[in-house]
Amino acid sequence: MTIIRTLRAWRRAGVLLAVWLLLAVPAVARPSQVQVARQFLLAVLRGDYTVAYRLLAPETQATLTAKEFRAAARPLHAQGQRRGQPIDLYKLGYRIGETHEVTSFYSFMFKSDTLARLPQVQLDVTFRDSTATAIMGFGLIPAPQTKRK
């Protein structure tokens, strides 16, 4: 009887230790969309196309080879060389496409445009939906060319 009680006590102690260890180890949080978008753009601006390409969604990688990706990302890299690499989040939201699909987007601006009324160019990153953490698309959005009256 004493042996059974001792085994039960050790079992409880083991379970408590396991629970305590699980709670003590921080969970690895999945990065947010804005973090992924920023990481992607910083990689492109550095010219680290391999890292940036890995952040694309599988369906985007299926339609865009690494070589094509480099060609598509070069205008962003060129803007980074011209304006500097530091970027800030400018705006975020949802876009509704012609077929009524909703995509999340994040637009960044170069810190060199901080004092301007509007950024000269926006670096745009889109995601399939609000829960996706792989990038569906990216591009440059130039500032409007006409002045308001």
pLDDT tens per residue, range 74-91 = 999 999 999 888 999 999
Q: Which residue has the tokens 């694309």?
A: 56
Buried b (16+ CB within 10 A) or exposed e, 56-69: bbeebbeebeeeeb
Does position 72 have pLDDT exceeding 70, yes or no?
Answer: yes
Confidence at residue 93, expressed as pLDDT on a 0 to 100 scale: 95
In the structure encoding, which two tokens stand for residue 37, read together?
A: 């978008």
In the structure encoding, which two tokens stand for residue 69, read together?
A: 């990706």
Confidence at residue 95, expressed as pLDDT on a 0 to 100 scale: 93
pLDDT band at 99 (very low <50, low <70, confident <90, very high): very high
Q: What are phi and psi of 97, to 5 degrees?
A: -80, 175
Confidence at residue 149, expressed as pLDDT on a 0 to 100 scale: 55
For 92-102, what is the mean pLDDT? 93
Does position 7 have pLDDT exceeding 70, yes or no?
Answer: no
Count CB neighbours of 130 within 10 A. Answer: 10
Q: Thinking of the domain 31-142, which architecture would CATH place it in?
A: Roll (3.10)
Cross-sheet strand order for the sheet of 121-127: 87-96, 102-110, 121-127, 135-142
The overall pTM is greater than 0.85:
no
Residue 94 CB partners (closer than 8 Å, separation 6+): 102, 103, 104, 105, 130
